[in-house]
Structure 1
Amino acid sequence: MEKVVNQDYVTQADIAKKELDSTYFKKGISIGIQSGVTYGLYTAFVTTATAYGVWAGWYGENSPLSAMAIAFILGTLATGINDLISAFWALGNALIKGKFEDFIKTLKTKPGLIMVFAAIIGAPIAGVAYVIAVVAGGPVVIPIAGLNVSIGAILGRIIFKQKLEPRTILGIVICFIASAIIGISGLSGEIKPSMVLGMIMAFIAAFGWGLEGTIAGFGTAMIDSEIGIAIRQTTSTVFNFLIVLPILGIIEGSGISLIANLSISALTDKTILIFVISGLFTFLTFNTWYKGNSMCGTALGMALNGTYAFFGPFFCWIILGVILKNPGYELAPTTWLASLLMAFGIFIMSVNPLDYIKKGDK
C-alpha cells in the first residue's frame, strides 16, 4: 500500500514539474518575441536619428567627411551614442531595483567576464556592423542580419551540445526562408552602390550576434539578465569610445580631433532625443533577448529574436515612411506574406501541432 502511495506521489510530482517547466518555457517564448519587436523599434529609431540633424549633413552629398569616415566612423559613433544612453537606462534600472552592487560584484566573477566577452563580440563588432549595414544598404539588409538565428542555433549545438529536435530545426529553416523572402522582396528597383557594403556588414553582424547570443544565453543562466545587459552596454560604450573610435580616427588620418569634434556635435544635436528613445529600446531588446535565451534555449531564443527581420523594416516604414513621409520605406506585399510564414515557423518551434490534433480526437 505504501509503495502505491509513493508511486502516486512521484507521478504527481513529475506532472507538477512538467507543468512548471512548460509554464517557464512558454514565458521564455513570450519574452523572446518581445525582443524581436523591441529590436525592430530600436532599428527604426536609430535609423531615424541618423537621417536628420547633423547626421543628414554628414551623410549628405556635400558631406565634409572622407569616404572612410562616412562608411565606418559615423556608424561606430551612432552605435556608441546609442549604447551609451542604453547603458544609462540599464544602470538606472539596476539602481532603482537595488542591483547596482550586484552589478559591480558580478563584473569580478567568471560569468561576468563571459558577459564582457560576449559584449565585445556583439556590441562594438556586430552592433557597429549592423548600423553601418542599415545606413549603407537600407532596411532591406536587415533580414540578412537575421541569419544570426541559424548561426546561433548551430553554435549552440556545437559549443553547448544543446539538443535540436527535428521540429525545432524545421521551424528555424522556415524562419530563415521567411527572412530571405523579405530580403529579396526589398531588392526591387535600383540597387545603391553602397548595397554591397551593407550586405557584407549585415553578414558580419549576423555572425557576431549568433556567437553573442550563444555565449550570453549561457552567461545569463548563471546571472540576472538585467545585470547582464548592464554589463553589455557599459562594456560596449567603453570599448567603442576609448578603443574603436580612436583607432578608426588614426587610420582615417584625422586622429582623435575628428572623433572628439564629431562626438561633441552629435551629443549636442537635437537628434540626441531620438537616441534616448532608441537607447531605451536597445536596453529592452537585449534584456529580453538574454533572458529569453536562458529560459527556452539559444536555438529557440535566437529564432524568436530573429523576428526583427520583419519588425525592423516594418517599423522603419511606419516611422520613416508613413509618419515622417520619407520615400523608399514601403513594404512589398510579399513581405507581409513572409511575416506570416515566419509566425508559423515560430509556432511550430514553440508547440507541437500534433498535440492539438490529439486533443481534438478525444
Structure 2
Amino acid sequence: MMEVSTAINPKALMAKKKLKSNFFKKGISIALFSGLTYGMYTAFLTMGMTKGIWADWYGANKAGLSAFVIAYVVAALGNAINDVCSAGWAILYSIFKGKFGDFLRCIKSKPGAIMMLAAFIGGPIAGTAYVIAIQMAGSIVVPISALCPAIAAILGKILFNQKLDKRMAVGILICVFASFLIGSTGFKGTASTKTFIGFLIAIIAALGWGFEGCVAGYGTSMIDYEIGICIRQVTSGLSNLFIMVPIFALAAGSIGKSFNLASQAFTSGPAMIWFALSGLMSVVTFMTWYAGNSMCGAGLGTACNGTYSFFGPFFCLLLLGIYGGMPGWSLPPIAWIGAVIMIFGILVIAMNPLDLFRKKEDDLGGVN
C-alpha cells in the first residue's frame, strides 16, 4: 500500500510566503499613494471654495448670508459638489472599464449594502464634518482627522479580527503623535472658540473615516474595489446633496435656500473647474485607500492613508500659498519633523525596523 507524503516542499512554502509578502507590500504602496492624492484633493477643494460665487460667500460682506449658513450650509455644499463631481468621474471610469453593469448589480447585494453604509458614514457625516472643520479652524484639522488609523485598527480587530499586535499599536501611536505635531502648527496665538469647535468637529470626521476604512476594507475584499468606489462616491454625492445640505438649510430656517445656493454653486465656472479636479482626486484617493485596506488591513492601510496630514498642508502650500499667492499657508520646520516621524511610524506598523539590520547582517554572513 502506497503512503502519501505529507511533507511540505520548502521551496513552495517560501514562494507562498514571498507572494503573500509582495501582496502586502503592494497594499502598503497603494495606501501610501492614497495619502498623497488626498493631499491634492484637499488643496483643489480648498482652492475651489475661494473662487467664483464662493469668494462672495466667504468675502467681507458674506453676500448677506448668516454666520450659520456660511459655517454649515455652504461648507456642506462644498463637500456635496465635490462628491457629485467625484461620482461623475467614478461612473465614467466604470463605463470605460466595462464594469457599469456590475456596479448596478452590486448595489443590490450584501457587499453593496455594506459599501453604501460605509459611504454614508464617511461621506455626508465625516466628509461634511471635515470641510466644516477646515473652514472653522484651518489647517490644524487635517492632521487631527488623521486619528482615523487608530480607530480603524481597533474596529478592524473587534469586528473582523484583523491583526493588531503591540508593535503595530506602537506604530499607530507614533503616527497619531506625528499628526498632532503637524497640527500644532495651526495654533497661532490664542485659540478662539471657533477654532475649538472646529477641533471637535474634526474628531467627528476621524471617527467616521475610521469606521469607513474598517468596513469598506472588508467590503472590497468581497467585491471589486473599482466597483466599490463607484458605489461609495454615488452614494456619498447623492446623500450629501439631497439629504445633508437640505437638513442644514432647514436648520437655518429655509430648506429652499439649499436649492438656491446649489444652483449658484453649480453654475460658478471658475470654482467648478477646481471642484472637477478635486472630484477626480477624490475618486483616486478613495479607490487606492479601499484597495490598500483590503490588501494590508484596515489599521495599516488607514495609517498609510493618514500621511495626508502632511500632504494636505503641503499641497495647500504649493497651490494656494505659492501658486495662488494667498498668505497663511507656509509650513514651519516642525511640520517637516512631524512628516519624518510619521514615516517612521508607518515603518513600525509595517515591519520591525530591526529586521532591516538583521537582513543586512544575514547577507554579510552569507558571503564566503
TM-score class, shorter: over 0.9
Over 3 Å counting, the alpha-carbon distance change for 1:355 and 1:266 in structure 2 is same
> Does the aligned pair in 1 maintain the 2:130–2:141 contact within 8 Å?
no
User: For the aligned residues, what is the CA RMSD?
Assistant: 1.6
**C-alpha distance in structure 2 between counterparts of 1:314 and 1:190, whole Å:** 24
Per the alignment, residue 162 of structure 2 pairs with 162
> Does the aligned pair in 1 maintain the 2:50–2:271 contact within 8 Å?
no
Question: Given the alignment of the two structures, is residue 128 of structure 1 paired with residue 159 of structure 2, yes or no?
Answer: no
**C-alpha distance in structure 1 between counterparts of 2:204 and 2:12, whole Å:** 47
**C-alpha distance in structure 2 between counterparts of 1:193 and 1:337, whole Å:** 28
- Counterpart of 1:164 in structure 2: which amino acid? L
1:302 is displaced (CA, Å) by: 0.9
Q: 5+ residue gaps in structure 1?
A: none
1:90-141: CA deviation from partner (whole Å, max 9, x where unpaired): 1111000000010001001000000000000000000000011111111121
Q: 5+ residue gaps in structure 2?
A: none
**C-alpha distance in structure 1 between counterparts of 2:144 and 2:354, whole Å:** 32
1:359 is displaced (CA, Å) by: 2.2
- Counterpart of 1:55 in structure 2: which amino acid? W
- Counterpart of 1:30 in structure 2: which amino acid? S
Per the alignment, residue 58 of structure 1 pairs with 57
**C-alpha distance in structure 1 between counterparts of 2:115 and 2:104, whole Å:** 13
TM-score by length of 1: 0.96
Per the alignment, residue 42 of structure 1 pairs with 41
What SS does the corresponding residue of 1:61 show, helix, strand or coil?
coil
- Counterpart of 1:253 in structure 2: which amino acid? G
1:11-59: CA deviation from partner (whole Å, max 9, x where unpaired): 2221111011001000000000011001111011101111222112112
Per the alignment, residue 97 of structure 1 pairs with 97
Fraction of identical pairs, as percent? 49
Per the alignment, residue 81 of structure 1 pairs with 81
- Counterpart of 1:221 in structure 2: which amino acid? S
What SS does the corresponding residue of 1:162 show, helix, strand or coil?
coil
1:60-112: CA deviation from partner (whole Å, max 9, x where unpaired): 23111112211111111111110001001111110000000100010010000
Per the alignment, residue 244 of structure 2 pairs with 244
**C-alpha distance in structure 1 between counterparts of 2:73 and 2:215, whole Å:** 27
1:244 is displaced (CA, Å) by: 1.7
Per the alignment, residue 348 of structure 1 pairs with 348
> Does the aligned pair in 2 maintain the 1:39–1:281 contact within 8 Å?
yes
- Counterpart of 2:342 in structure 1: which amino acid? M
**C-alpha distance in structure 2 between counterparts of 1:192 and 1:88, whole Å:** 38
- Counterpart of 1:287 in structure 2: which amino acid? M
**C-alpha distance in structure 1 between counterparts of 2:305 and 2:47, whole Å:** 22
Question: Given the alignment of the two structures, is residue 18 of structure 1 paired with residue 17 of structure 2, yes or no?
Answer: yes
**C-alpha distance in structure 1 between counterparts of 2:353 and 2:71, whole Å:** 47
1:220-269: CA deviation from partner (whole Å, max 9, x where unpaired): 0101111111101100111112222222222211222x111111111111
Counterparts of 1:97-116 in structure 2 under 5 Å?
97-116=97-116
Counterparts of 1:1-362 in structure 2 under 5 Å?
7=7, 10-63=9-62, 64-256=64-256, 258-269=257-268, 270-361=270-361, 362=365
1:200 is displaced (CA, Å) by: 1.6
- Counterpart of 1:265 in structure 2: which amino acid? Q
Q: Which shifted more, 184-193 or 158-167? A: 184-193
1:158 is displaced (CA, Å) by: 1.5
What SS does the corresponding residue of 2:155 show, helix, strand or coil?
helix
1:168-225: CA deviation from partner (whole Å, max 9, x where unpaired): 1111111111001111122123535521221121011000000111100100010111
Q: Which shifted more, 222-231 or 181-190? A: 181-190
Over 3 Å counting, the alpha-carbon distance change for 1:251 and 1:188 in structure 2 is closer
1:10 is displaced (CA, Å) by: 2.7
> Does the aligned pair in 2 maintain the 1:216–1:290 contact within 8 Å?
yes
> Does the aligned pair in 1 maintain the 2:126–2:208 contact within 8 Å?
yes
